[in-house]
């Protein structure tokens, strides 16, 4: 089975921060794959903007190096690369200085059939000034799009300031707040699983679901990432990626696949989250920070050891586990356990829907008790969907119950390459499709729920709980879920 490639309109994609790590590691490889698959051609242009005193040749050379390093060798084709980099041009531009703003007019086309998009792969404090200059210099059009990356502030107030600055120039329907998790194939398949099949929706509620677990675990550390110590796991992962996943699991069926219909339903979930304040904070949240591990074969530094001297003693959390509750009709009484961290046992992102126990077992004399059914949606690695259910173990000699998976592996089911998240999101901007991008009111609702947790942690005297690198986090995270008579889903990792 092969996927259907639908070409997009010709475009002018202006990338501010063109010499940065995001552009090199994600944006250029993503655009190359879409070019190689025929979704756009030489009628489109990719215009790099940065302070570096480059010209077109240097930017094209950097694009080739990016493809060589970050695109799998089997997808590298010299003729295709030559055609692709021919669409690249470059403007040296100091966006902080109006007098040194480069002239984009020679690169931007006035044809209304050419989509105009600005990707701001720069620090958030530059979003407002860049948007203002785009308008002042005459580069703004009402049909233009602007893409902004996280972190969109460090709390509700700063987030509103950033969005206010962008909103002075761009209308909300022009703003694309990118969250690469929403571009993952399995995340979108969660929508298909729920709303394109009649099987699950009748039982997708508190009468049949016992609890939900969402885990985003990373095996790498965090200390060398410049902004991480200012954000921590709560802001870096919970506030955006994980709350978005929670919304997709918990939302009501939208009236259509229209972007605003879907985002309206996600917003309702965010506004239904029970606040975690007061005594609930100690019962329902855990924060941790990884310690180093020394072994005969290798050693791993602690978070503190990775920090520069002026950051030593930081109380920034590298792990968060919490119990969220949604106060509405569908989910009343169903806990959502969220867990994320650095230097954990393995790299994995998954959603586990655990259904309730059967109301009555007729297998009193069987070997092995029935276990609740579980639906496991694996986002990375090895994307797929697995339904764990009970069957009889084959063979004579009585009833032996056994849990087995009905397993859909994307790699095995589909022969073609699975596109990376940025491939889809970058061209969704060109299509004008905002479905997989956060709306401003969603972002602010998420900050409103997270901020009281952050403020309480900052005011507390206790430090994050330590945990050894290569484990599943501090013991407090285990206690958090086991107090409710449940356990984290870790088998099969």
Eight-class DSSP state of 158: H
| Joined tokens for residue 334 | 């169903």
The residues that bridge with 433 in the sheet, in sequence order, are none
In 3D space, the residue among 52, 37, 47, 41 whose CA is nearest the CA of residue 10 turns out to be 41
Phi first, then psi, for residue 436 (nearest 5°) are -95, 20
Q: With contact defined as beta carbons under 8 Å apart, do 339 and 256 qualify?
A: no
Which residues touch 460 (CB under 8 Å, ≥6 apart)?
Answer: none
Q: Which of 154, 180, 241, 489 is catalytic?
A: 241
- Clarify whether 489 is annotated catalytic: no
| Joined tokens for residue 131 | 């948007």
The four Cα atoms 282, 287, 293, 298 give a dihedral, to 10 degrees, of 150
- Sequential DSSP letters for 272-289: HBPP--TTHHHHHEEEEE
- Sequential DSSP letters for 179-238: -GGGGSHHHHHHHHHHHS-TTTGGG-STTTEEEEEEEEE-SS--TT-TTHHHHHHIIIII
CA–CA separation, 179 and 446 (whole Å): 14
CA–CA separation, 185 and 34 (whole Å): 15
CA–CA separation, 342 and 134 (whole Å): 38
Q: For residue 169, how far is the Cα from the chain centroid?
A: 27
Whole-angstrom Cα Rg for the chain? 24
In 3D space, the residue among 121, 341, 155, 378 whose CA is nearest the CA of residue 245 turns out to be 378
The four Cα atoms 455, 459, 461, 462 give a dihedral, to 10 degrees, of 0
Q: List the catalytic residues.
A: 241
């Amino acid at each position: 089975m092969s996927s259907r490639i639908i070409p997009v309109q010709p475009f002018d994609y202006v990338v501010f921060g063109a010499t940065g790590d995001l552009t090199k590691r994600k944006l250029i490889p993503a655009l190359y794959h879409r070019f190689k698959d025929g979704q756009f051609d030489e009628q489109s242009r990719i215009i790099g903007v940065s302070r570096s005193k480059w010209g077109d040749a240097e930017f094209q050379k950097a694009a080739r190096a990016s493809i060589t390093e970050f695109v799998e060798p089997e997808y590298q084709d010299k003729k295709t690369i030559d055609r692709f980099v021919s669409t690249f041009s470059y403007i040296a531009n100091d966006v902080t200085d109006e007098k040194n703003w480069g002239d984009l007019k020679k690169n931007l086309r006035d044809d209304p059939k050419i989509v105009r998009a600005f990707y701001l792969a720069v620090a958030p404090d530059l979003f407002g000034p860049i948007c203002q200059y785009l308008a002042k210099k005459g580069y703004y059009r009402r049909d233009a799009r602007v893409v902004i990356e996280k972190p969109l502030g460090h709390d509700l107030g700063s987030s509103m300031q950033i969005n206010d600055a962008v909103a002075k120039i761009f209308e909300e329907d022009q703003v694309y707040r990118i969250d690469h998790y929403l571009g993952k194939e399995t995340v979108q398949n969660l929508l298909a699983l729920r709303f394109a099949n009649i099987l699950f929706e009748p039982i997708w509620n508190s009468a049949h679901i016992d609890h939900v677990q969402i885990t985003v675990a990373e095996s790498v550390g965090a200390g060398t990432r410049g902004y991480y110590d200012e954000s921590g796991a709560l802001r870096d992962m919970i506030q955006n990626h994980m709350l978005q996943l929670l919304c997709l699991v918990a939302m009501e069926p939208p009236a259509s696949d229209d972007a605003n219909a879907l985002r309206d339903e996600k917003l309702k979930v965010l506004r239904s989250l029970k606040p975690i304040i007061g005594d609930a904070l100690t019962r329902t949240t855990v924060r941790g920070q990884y310690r180093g591990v020394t072994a005969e074969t290798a050693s791993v530094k602690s978070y503190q050891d990775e920090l520069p001297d002026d950051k030593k003693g930081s109380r920034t959390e590298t792990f968060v586990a919490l119990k969220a509750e949604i106060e509405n009709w569908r989910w009343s009484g169903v806990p959502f356990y969220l867990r994320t961290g650095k230097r954990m046992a393995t790299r994995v992102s998954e959603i586990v829907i655990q259904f309730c126990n059967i109301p009555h077992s007729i297998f009193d004399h069987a070997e092995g008790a029935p276990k609740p059914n579980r639906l496991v949606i694996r986002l990375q690695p090895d994307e797929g969907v697995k339904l764990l259910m009970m069957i009889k173990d084959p063979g004579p000699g009585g009833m032996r119950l056994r849990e087995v998976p009905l397993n859909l592996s994307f790699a095995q089911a589909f022969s073609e390459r699975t596109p990376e998240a940025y491939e889809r999101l970058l061209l969704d901007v060109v299509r004008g499709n905002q479905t997989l991008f956060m709306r401003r009111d969603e972002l602010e609702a998420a900050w409103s729920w997270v901020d009281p947790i952050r403020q309480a942690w900052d005011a507390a005297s206790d430090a994050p709980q330590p945990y050894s690198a290569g484990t599943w986090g501090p013991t407090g995270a285990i206690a958090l879920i086991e107090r409710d008579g449940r356990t984290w889903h870790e088998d099969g990792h």
